[in-house]
Amino acid sequence: MQIKTVGVVGAGQMGNGIAHVFALSGYDVLLTDVSQDALEKALALIDRNIERQVAKGRTSPEDKAAAMDRIRTTTRLADLGPADLIIEAATERETVKQAIFEDLLAHIQPHTILTSNTSSISITRLASRTDRPEKFMGFHFMNPVPVMQLVELIRGIATDEPTYKTLLGVVDSLGKTAASAEDFPAFIVNRILMPMINEAVYTLYEGVGSVKSIDESLKLGANHPMGPLELADFIGLDTCLAIMNVLHDGLADTKYRPCPLLTKYVEAGWLGRKTGRGFYDYRGETPVPTR
């Protein structure tokens, strides 16, 4: 199936990155969010991030202008009607995602493929609430989307082969690499990454190391590009906690128990970079550890 127009629901850090890479790869993009302000911020950020790629010689000013021209924004889900493929990238809460898919059904075409960028929620369950579980898939991008090479493809129990093949082709057209994962809690990347981040928070909670020593240990001792606490702030502590809860509930194993300190940071609204404070305080010139 030929995909020309892509609808992206949610203009947050994942949604804007997804819109960016699709527009730069020649797709028409309809980007929607409930907040007009979020849409304006997303467009400005996409402009800045493509400019970084122009500055590095990875794309040309002409291609940048063409990509920006291909992005249309709207606050109405109903405007996503022309999309051949829809990627939901809203908050990591199942009720929010379900409500979006339910609202979309009245407006989309029979051939439209529905996908979710969920990092952990059951694709089979999300699909079962729609009229097209065979045309529904998990389509999981990594942050920052323009830089990270991997896209996880997750088939629900009912997903058909043409839908899977279409998305494999789409990933290829973006110049990225697909990894196929079965539909079990948190799939592959987060099944492995989140328990590591949670363990880093336990290491902090139990006083084994400070924020600085934990991050430095993994950067210098395991060659990770970011320390686990810095990475948690980058992903968002609310998202990390939501994923740990999905693993804990879905696999019923105490090894996935979210660290109480992670819960406390989320309760404080210290969600990481996006709120200016998490394991680091980002409000000054350079990030300062908060413990």
Instruction: Give the residue numbers annotated as catalytic, written as ranges.
Output: 119, 140, 152, 190
- Residues sharing a CB contact under 8 Å with residue 260, sequence separation 6 or more, in sequence order: 205
Nearest to ligand CAA of 198, 239 (CB atom): 239
Smallest distance, Å, CB 162 to ligand CAA?
Answer: 26
144 binds ligand CAA (CB under 6 A): yes
Burial of 255 (0-12, 13-18, 19+ CB in 10 A): exposed
Q: Return the residues of window 169-228 that contact ligand CAA according to CB under 6 A.
A: 189-190, 193, 225-226
DSSP character at residue 157: T
Cα–Cα distance for residue pair 64/161, rounded to 1 Å: 34
Cα–Cα distance for residue pair 37/275, rounded to 1 Å: 16
Q: Which of 121, 142, 153, 204: binder of ligand CAA (CB under 6 A)?
A: 142
Q: Which of 53, 73, 116, 166: binder of ligand CAA (CB under 6 A)?
A: 53
Nearest to ligand CAA of 147, 157 (CB atom): 147
Smallest distance, Å, CB 24 to ligand CAA?
Answer: 10
Q: Return the residues of window 246-275 that contact ligand CAA according to CB under 6 A.
A: none
231 binds ligand CAA (CB under 6 A): yes
Nearest to ligand CAA of 194, 204 (CB atom): 194
Instruction: Classify 277 as helix, strand or coil.
Output: strand
Sign of CA dihedral 99, 102, 107, 108: positive
Nearest to ligand CAA of 110, 225 (CB atom): 225
Smallest distance, Å, CB 91 to ligand CAA?
Answer: 13
Distances (CA, A) of 151 to 28, 113, 175, 177, 189: 20, 17, 10, 6, 10
Q: Return the residues of window 58-117 that contact ligand CAA according to CB under 6 A.
A: none
Task: Find out whether 246 and 121 touch, Cβ atoms under 8 Å.
Answer: yes
Return the CA Rg of the chain. 19
**How many secondary structure helices (H) and strands (E) does the chain include?**
11, 10
Nearest to ligand CAA of 6, 231 (CB atom): 231
143 binds ligand CAA (CB under 6 A): yes
Binding residues (CB under 6 A) for ligand CAA: these are: 49, 52-53, 56, 119, 142-144, 146-148, 189-190, 193, 225-226, 231, 235, 239
